[in-house]
Amino acid sequence: MHDQSYTGHRIAMTLLTVFLIAMSGVGGVYVARWLRSPAEARPETGSEATKFKFPSRIFEGWKKPDVVLVISGQQYGYLLPCGCSDPQIGGLERRYKLVQIIKAAGWPVVPMDLGDVPQTTGPVGLPNQQGVIKYVYAMKAMEKIGYIGVGLGRHEAGFGLLNLLSEYSLNNEKPPVLISNLIDADKNLPGMTKPWFYADTTTGVRVGVTNVIGPREANEMRALDPSVRFGVTPETLDNILGQMKKGGVNLPVLMYQGPLGEAAKPSEARACAAAYPQFPIVVCLSEHEEPDLRPTVVPTKAGGNSLLIQAGKKGKYVVAVGAWKTETGFDFKYERIEMTPDFKEADDKRADNPIVQLMEQYTAELKAKDYLGKYGQRKHPLQVLDAVKNLRNPGEPQYIGSEACKKCHEDAYDIWKKSGHSHAYDTLVNAKNPGNRQFDPECIVCHTIGFGYQTGFVDAVKTPKFKDVGCESCHGPASLHARNPNDVEWQKRVNPWRHMPVPRDQQLLAIDLMCQKCHDQENDVHWTGGGFKRKWPKVEHPSPKAPGDEK
Ligand code: HEC
Ligand code: HEC
Ligand code: HEC
Ligand code: HEC
């Protein structure tokens, strides 16, 4: 295999080659039949019909398959729902449980992941300090779930592949990180990747899975990690298919790092699926968090159909593909499974769930290694001197804590004290399965005052005044206002909304957006659809009007 740089020209060439190679396909061609609806499934009579009751009405009308592939991808660091609101979707605990349920039904199950396991940014503008440790725990969790392979994608490359893979794959064989067209993988990442891997089922299916980086992602990944080079996909896939065939694989699956492409102008994953009917199932990058209700069916050059699958993002869903052997290949059925709370372990059993136990280790490690201390402190916009140069009392404001506001703003203080905001830190202290959340910066950032900003929350011992969501979580560091209460400029800065020269409804919209820095889609699932209207009255704290005050 030789090095190829993927310039625009090269992309065109590569795709052309894909098409040409397609005509000379290697090995036997699998006939993939896609069973559209439960009605088209095989009759559900006979001893083989499923008696097992699955939760969430999944697998309705399925008889026992020869294998179920559980396909996930693009997890982006989402390990477990934080519990901020209900119902949140996703998490590795539930994915583990799903696989256990399928096993309990006596169905052979083979989980596999497309890659993009780690996050590329921290929440709420925090630096990505927890990206690597969360990646390691995600890999540990996938090992417990029984993954046969995890693809390698752009998110992994963002950390530098050698850096990231030496954190887990250097010392752990399972699940293998799969990459077939990384040049000199053995030299640069010794022992840390495999070109493909396989698993056997009791029903005589040997599932093989490989991962290939398409031209678009190859470009992006080289930009992130200049030490990597990728080979051309057709050459690679011909080679891998040859190896898989020799290795007795009868159900080869392709993870394709690239976009789906359009039906009218097939490119990337679509073109690859069409050109390689030997892979009846091709998984590509998802556009949305939610996978489609049906897979994309791609007519192949061999006259059959292949299934092109997007597994969604952030682990909110997985896709299950059931396979039934036929004389010539397989029949397939597809189901998108939402990781709803139905798959959560019962409360009294959660502590025994291996993934919850891993999460317990994770938060204990955050505490032991003082992750709170790893985050630097940047300037809050109010602390940027340039922005305040017109003030009579210039200087950088500091955080002073909610108690310091009490003496002058008793009414606002009382309203705040009765609100959920005033005990947001205790919520983290009391969190269970896992505990120790007060040591997790990715929780602390929204449950305290000023974490990550100069003079803000550091930890409960050093900065006890800044526990909980306090006045300055919304108003910003306010020492200079408290010291100069009649300074109109500082009054404006601590209440920018009220001083915006726009109609009231636009001021309210600006306040709504400020709330959403914490009450975002992931953490407060009920905010969209009138959340602000419902919740603002619960925390609103207008100054009491003096008698005769018309304001
Ligand atoms: C982006 C900001 C944000 C982050 C990060 C965050 N939270 Fe929250 N959390 C919130 C908000 C907002 C609420 C209130 C939601 C509501 O009003 O329904 C909340 C509420 C909660 C509640 C429910 C409190 C109750 O009384 O019902 C728990 C438990 C919780 N969070 C735990 C966590 C944990 C654990 C983490 C870290 C894994 C975390 N939070 C990270 C914003 C955040
Ligand atoms: C020494 C008394 C004093 C302290 C301490 C104090 N304030 Fe004020 N604050 C005032 C006065 C006086 C005003 C102007 C009159 C008013 O709006 O109540 C004001 C106004 C405000 C306003 C409205 C500004 C406007 O123009 O709309 C906000 C917001 C505010 N304070 C927040 C805080 C916060 C947050 C703290 C604590 C970090 C705090 N204040 C501490 C005296 C104080
Ligand atoms: C710094 C992050 C942050 C900001 C900004 C924030 N909140 Fe919250 N909010 C939280 C957290 C965390 C909780 C959960 C408190 C707990 O632990 O119970 C919460 C809880 C609440 C609750 C109580 C839960 C409920 O559903 O009754 C209300 C109401 C609320 N917030 C309204 C607002 C409004 C309105 C705004 C904007 C004006 C806002 N919040 C801005 C973090 C924030
Ligand atoms: C969840 C965010 C949030 C928290 C927490 C919060 N405020 Fe406010 N506060 C606001 C917003 C938003 C406004 C502007 C309201 C408006 O324009 O109607 C405001 C307005 C004010 C005003 C001006 C009220 C008026 O009628 O002019 C004062 C004073 C004030 N806050 C003080 C405080 C103090 C003191 C605390 C803590 C005890 C506090 N706030 C906590 C968001 C918050």
How many C-beta neighbours within 10 Å does residue 521 have? 10
User: Which pLDDT tens digit goes with each residue over 386-427?
Assistant: 655 555 556 789 999 999 999 999 999 999 999 999 999 999
**Distance from C-alpha of 169 to C-alpha of 187, rounded to nearest angstrom:** 15
The pLDDT tens digits of the residues spanning 37-60 come to 433 444 344 345 566 788 888 999
Cα of 450 to ligand 4 centre, how many Å? 16
- Is ligand 4 within 6 A of the CB of residue 497? yes
- For residues 176, 181, 182 and 183, what is the CA-based torsion angle, rounded to 10 degrees? 130
Q: What is the pTM assigned to this prediction?
A: 0.92
Verify cis geometry, omega within 30 degrees of 0, for the bond prior to 295.
no
Q: What is the pLDDT of residue 492?
A: 93
DSSP H helices, 324-391, are 354-368
Q: Which of 451, 469, 520, 534 maximizes ligand 3 atoms within 8 Å of its Cβ, making it the mutation to test the pocket?
A: 469
Q: What is the pLDDT of residues 351-381, one digit of tens each?
A: 999 999 999 999 999 999 999 999 999 999 9
Could you give the 3-state DSSP secondary structure of residue 238? Answer: helix
Listed in sequence order, the residues at least 6 apart from 81 whose beta carbon sits closer than 8 Å to its beta carbon are: 88, 89, 90, 91
More confident residue, 12 or 124: 124
State percent of the chain over pLDDT 70.
88
Confidence at 469, pLDDT banded by 50, 70, 90: very high
- Name the residue with the closest Cα to ligand 1, atom 39: 443
**SS3 assignment for 93-113:** HHHHHHHHHHHHCCCCEEEEE
Give, using CA atoms, the residue closest to atom 42 of ligand 4: 474
Task: For residue 6, name the pLDDT band (cuts at 50, 70, 90).
Answer: very low
Query: Which pLDDT score, from 0 to 100, does residue 44 have?
Result: 44
The CA distance from 110 to 101, in Å, is 13
Predicted confidence at residue 192, as pLDDT, reads 97
Structurally, at CATH architecture level, domain 8-360 sits in 4-Layer Sandwich (3.60)
Ligand 4 nearest atom to the CA of residue 543, by list position:
26
Distance CA 157, CA 139 (A): 16
Backbone CA torsion sign across 409, 493, 447, 510:
positive
Which of the 8 DSSP states describes residue 470?
-
Pocket-forming residues, ligand 3, beta carbon under 6 Å: 420-421, 423-424, 427, 446-447, 469, 473-474, 511, 514-515, 517-519, 535-536, 538-539
pLDDT tens-place string over residues 295-319: 999 999 888 899 999 999 999 999 9
Ligand 2 pocket residue status of 405, Cβ below 6 Å: yes
Could you read off the pLDDT of 26-36 as tens digits, one per residue? 333 445 565 54
CA of 488 to the centre of ligand 4 (A): 16
State if residue 484 touches ligand 2 by the CB under 6 angstroms criterion: no
Question: What residues does each domain of the chain span?
Answer: 8-360, 376-495
> Could you tell which of 448, 518, 526, 538 is best to mutate to test the pocket of ligand 3, judged by most ligand atoms within 8 Å of the CB?
518
| The CATH number of the domain covering residues in 376-495 | 1.10.1130.10
Q: Quick check: 453 and 477 in contact, CB under 8 A?
A: yes
Mean pLDDT of 466-474: 98
User: Residue 115 contacts by C-beta under 8 Å, 6 or more apart in sequence?
Assistant: 73, 74, 150, 151, 152, 153, 155, 156, 211, 255, 257
Q: Residue 382 CA: which ligand is closest?
A: 2
Residues 260, 19, 264, 69, CA torsion sign: negative
User: Cβ contacts of residue 88 below 8 Å, gap of 6+?
Assistant: 81, 82, 341, 522, 525
